[in-house]
Amino acid sequence: MIPPFHDVNIPFRIEIYEGLGEVHGRLRIGEGVLRIEYLMKDAVIGLLRTEARELNVALESIDEIDFHDGWFRKRLTIRAGSISSFADIPGAENGVLVLKIARKDTQRALQAVSSLRLLLAEAKLKALDGWDQRPLPDQT
């Protein structure tokens, strides 16, 4: 069963600076945007932290979402159509954001992928409907 879109709330982690730093955050879906809340901290002693930040990415700018359920790693990969979509998030490269998911949150991540894929498909269908309703050029 796919949860309501506002209930999607997935904790994630991204390793940065060759393992010396980490980004911790939450991924949420709401009102046509993908909300990514995150903060950075050092991985050595955990004392250095940034303030929490939020990035809103329009669902129309997301090209693909995938969940890799490996034996040792669970990863959620989000590909955007533009490099600038995830430019503010440390660890994101070339419009691709790879989030490490804890084993206990695997089911939540799978549900989020289903929800996002459904939303992306609906957005593409709406775009196609708008395409069909455009007036045809005069062929006289």
- For the segment 51-107, what is each residue's pLDDT rounded down to a tens digit? 889 999 988 888 899 999 888 889 999 999 889 989 889 889 999 999 999 999 999
Per DSSP bridges, beta strands 33-42 and 74-80 are: unpaired
Query: Who wins on pLDDT, 125 or 55?
Result: 55
Instruction: Give residue 138's pLDDT band: very low, low, confident or very high (50, 70, 90).
Output: low
pTM score: 0.78
| 10 CB neighbour count, 10 Å cutoff | 21
Closest CA to 85 of 60, 57, 63: 57
Output the average pLDDT for the chain: 83
